[in-house]
Amino acid sequence: MIATATTDARGLARSHYGELARIGKALGSPVRLQLLDLLRQGARTVESLAEAAGISVANSSQHLQQMRSARLVAAERKGKHVEYRLADESVSAAFGTLRELAEQLLPEMQRLRRALGVLEPGEREEIVSLVREGAVTLLDVRPREEFEAGHLPGACSVPLAELPARIGELPRDRAVVAYCRGPYCTMATEAAALLRAAGFVASHLDLGVPDLRRGRLRPPASSRSPRSSGDHVPRKAGRNR
């Protein structure tokens, strides 16, 4: 009897690897990881995710359903659309941990970091200090819907596509720091290059809102109502609220 109970307990103990494998299988796709990273920026409809990821709506829906079956994401119907969100903040943290592990173990990640201009720790700390002190104009160059889902204190929304037309709004007597979704997103580096070409002192911060939630800058609570787009005036950027 005791031997049988022991065997059953050991079998149950081994079964948890199968549950872990469900998560691993759901994460085992570049497309699903990209969709997960987009959802770290805020809840999105299937159509919006498909457009941002550069895939078809049908393909996006299929990948999202697989992640939903593993309880990584949750879905809610809103009118004619289905909106997805991360099931829990721990999913975002797990994504960040997975990325850090890849950076530590895979030489290919180091080559990507160099090619994409990912900052060294010292450079990043210097820029974070300037942002924390309110010494720079801080631009969030992500799409506006991502800004409204959560952004860094003192940031103003100037989506990358709008930046060329809105450069005249920026004060020239302050350095500018642009940020986007994280270290492997190119929007901030493109924005900084555009600003430097226009004569600004500009740099990029390669950490996004999800990365900094666990760090030194805390974005506004998701329950806080964002200001209207007309209030996102760059001249107020960089001032701590």
Give the start-end residues of each E strand in the chain. Answer: 44-45, 73-78, 81-86, 137-140, 156-157, 176-179, 202-205
CA distance 144 to 216: 23
Q: Are 41 and 144 in contact (CB under 8 A)?
A: no
Burial class (CB in 10 A: 0-12, 13-18, 19+), 138: buried
CA distance 132 to 205: 12
Please work out, in degrees rounded to the nearest 5, the angle formed at the alpha carbon of residue 72 by the alpha carbons of 69 and 73: 85
CA distance 145 to 47: 14
* Cα separation of the two ends of the chain: 67
CA distance 137 to 202: 9
Give me the active site residues, please.
Answer: 180
CA distance 150 to 64: 22
Which token pair is 62?
């299929």
